[in-house]
Amino acid sequence: MRTPFFLVFVVLLLCEHSAVAQMFGRRGPKGTPPPKALLVTILTRQKQREHLKAYRPDLLREFERDVKEVAKRTVKDFSENFRYCPVYFFADSNANKIVSGEWDGVLLDSALRPAANPVIRPGDKDFFIAHYGSPIPQPDSVKSRTPGDMGSEVEDYGDDPSALFREKLIVTDADFKILSVRRGPRTNYVRSLRPSGMSHAEYRVYRRALTYNSKRWYVDYMPTAYSYDASLRKFYR
């Protein structure tokens, strides 16, 4: 009786690996240049902070704590789990400086200090920019997960349209144009992928520690660095 169960286990295992291979099996056209670096955006949500400061200052500290927790997990995730190319961080409020090439003090390392001798220079275009969130710009207001939770005045002052979209890893080129999901490296998050040195149980605990969901707002983070690293390795192999 053990043989059928063993065969079922083997089939399920092969199906899992097949699904992962299919998800990350896409390879780029021969000669496609890989990115020299990945720039990860730290979302400060400055406009939403200003909105809360004007309309619900009593909730501002809670909102800032959530934003800080997401930023902390973003940095930890990409610092520990992304190895394909050098990774740097920058605040979203400095996005215009990334485009204009004013990088001094803008590109940060994993300790959020100015990056020393980055592999890219102003004028380079061979890098990607990533952030976890919605594909549409952040709104000027803040929407609660629970209707009426923040009072009618705030709710009527413009809902958060980003709540209509499933949050995911968004990757753009150096000019902040979203890369094609059909022709470029995929950004799928795959739970079955894990670092080789971790067991499934250890990775579940680790992944849970990197995940963050605000209780009140749509301010969340799901660890995506390891999956995207695997996707780039497949695409540019």
pLDDT digits (tens, 9 = 90+) for 209-234: 999 999 988 899 999 999 899 899 98
What's the gap between Cα 30 and its chain centre? 27
Enter the tokens of residue 187: 């950004």
* Cα distance between residue 62 and residue 7, in whole Å: 52
pLDDT digits (tens, 9 = 90+) for 62-90: 999 999 999 999 999 999 999 999 999 99
Enter the tokens of residue 142: 């803040």
As a whole-number percent, the residues of the chain with pLDDT over 90 amount to 55
Q: What are the counts of helices (DSSP H) followed by strands (DSSP E) for the chain? A: 7, 6
Question: Is the CA virtual torsion 106, 140, 225, 172 positive or negative?
Answer: negative
Antiparallel, parallel or unpaired: β 220-221 and 87-91: unpaired
- Tell me the CA distances in angstroms from 120 to 83, 88, 183, one per residue in order: 16, 10, 24
Enter the tokens of residue 111: 């300790």
What are the b/e assignments for 66-89, b being 16+ CB within 10 Å? Answer: bbebbbebbbbbbeebbebbbbbb
- Give the pTM: 0.80
Average pLDDT over residues 135-148: 64
Question: Is the CA virtual torsion 138, 145, 216, 49 positive or negative?
Answer: positive
Based on C-alpha coordinates, what's the Rg of the chain?
Answer: 20
According to the model, what pLDDT value does residue 167 have? 80
pLDDT digits (tens, 9 = 90+) for 156-204: 333 444 444 568 899 999 999 998 877 788 887 676 677 777 888 988 8
pLDDT digits (tens, 9 = 90+) for 2-44: 555 444 443 344 444 444 444 444 677 788 899 999 999 999 9
According to the model, what pLDDT value does residue 139 have? 62
According to the model, what pLDDT value does residue 209 have? 93
Q: Is 223 exposed, middle or buried (0-12, 13-18, 19+ CB in 10 A)?
A: buried
Angle of the 60-81 helix axis to the 200-210 helix axis, nearest 10: 140
* Cα distance between residue 176 and residue 201, in whole Å: 37
Q: Which amino acid is at 119?
A: V
- Tell me the CA distances in angstroms from 189 to 14, 63, 113, 181, one per residue in order: 19, 26, 28, 13
Quick check: 86 and 124 in contact, CB under 8 A? no
* Cα distance between residue 147 and residue 142, in whole Å: 12
Question: Is the CA virtual torsion 26, 41, 139, 63 positive or negative?
Answer: positive
**How sure is the predictor about 53, in pLDDT bands with cuts at 50, 70 and 90?**
very high
